[in-house]
Every structure is written in C-alpha cells, then in structure tokens.
Structure 1
Amino acid sequence: MQPTATVLVYSDDANVREQVRLAAGRRPAADVPPVEFVECATLPAVLAALDRGGIDVCVLDGETAPMGGMGVCRQIKDEVFHCPPVLLLIGRPQDAWLATWSRADAAVTLPVEPVEFADALAALLRGRLSVDA
C-alpha cells in the first residue's frame, strides 16, 4: 500500500475547502504521495487535529472568521512542536506581507487557482517529506 500525505484544511467556508480538495486532486504532483484531507471549520478542531499528529501540511484560509488563518498560523507556529508547513490562502496579493508576519511557509490568493495551488502544496509536501525521511 502506498503511503499518503495528510493535509489539514482550515476554513469556515465549505466552498473554500472544496476548492482546495479539487485543486489538489488525489495527488498534487507525480513525485509526491497521494493526499488525504482533514477538514476543520474551527480553531479547536485545528488544534485537536494537530495534537493527534500525522498532519504533513496545513492549508489555512486567511479570510476565515472569527479566527483567521493568519492568526491561526502564527499561533500554531508558536505552540505546535515540529509544526507542519503552512500554505496560507490570502484574499489579495497585497496581503503577502501579512502571510510573512504570520510565518506561513507559502501563500496563494483566493479564489484558488488549481495549478498555482497544486504547485505550492507539492513544494511544501516535498520539503516536509524529505525532512521526515
């Protein structure tokens, strides 16, 4: 059985979570394993999933309310031992500086553009899986 990578997707909007799943597909690139998704709509769900372990990459929606993905990113980078890399979904390109402030490893704009998103996710997976190997 082929190993899989686990991607946590945090957004209060089911449509955004669906965009992420569809953009990533079953495998975002040929040289990374197939992905499974853990969907979270609240901060407590994110923290519980990270506490359980096994998350390879987090995708956080910066536009989520009441706790946006940027704040969640900064919090988990401070609080989670060996925090997985974070791909932040931002509302507009001008918000890239906020992604840097939040310590995100990468950022793409909403709405999700499939090729850009899959490339960014695959790059984070490659980095994470090479560290774990």
Structure 2
Amino acid sequence: ELAPLGLNEYQITKVINANQNIINHTREAFIDQARKDPEIGGSRFETTIKHAKVAYDKYASPALQEVLQGTGLSSHPEVIRMFANLGKAVSEDTGIPAQALTSGAGVDLKDESTQLNVLYGNN
C-alpha cells in the first residue's frame, strides 16, 4: 500500500507504471538471453518454447503462473530451461507401445518373464 507513504493518486499511478515498465524491460532482457543461450536458444528456441509450454500448462498452478508472469520470471532463461526439460521428459515418456502388447498372440502377459521381455526386450 503506497498511500501511507504520503503519495497522492497521481504519484501512486506513476510508481505502478514505472514498476510495470521495469518488469517489461526485464522480461524482454530475459527473452533475449534465452534466445542467445547455447542450450535452449538459437535454432532450438521455438522447440524449447513448445516443450516449456507443455510442462507449464500441465504443472504450473494458476498461483505459480500468476507469480511467474507478474514478475516477468516466466521469461527467465533458467525458468524456460526447467519447464522445457520437464516438457521434453514428459513428451519422451511414451510408455509401452500398444503393438508390443498385442504382437505376441497367445503370449501370457501374466508371466513375469514375459512382462520383462515386453518392457525391456530380449536383452
């Protein structure tokens, strides 16, 4: 609350606008850093953002999203990297292909050795 500081409405509005400008400039700087990052940026940037969005939408609660977006931290390269890595991991975790379960007609999937074979192959 800025009113107890003796600021009038005009001054409060100026402080709020200045704060928002700082957040916007910080966000732009973060995005620029992320675009230049050797791991997540450059030609990988769009893919990075796609992976990050998957995890962000799935795992970031509305309260966390509000904090990240309100502070500009949603654009920080390390936050993008974290969500991108999580999104990539979730995308790669495809489980057992359906054809692996149905390809062995007459195979007893209740047998533990068969289950291990389906999961890990004959190795």
TM-score (norm 2): 0.24
Which structure: greater helix fraction?
A: 2
Higher RCO (CA-CA < 8 Å; seq separation 6+): 1
Which structure: greater strand fraction?
A: 1
| Larger-Rg structure | 2
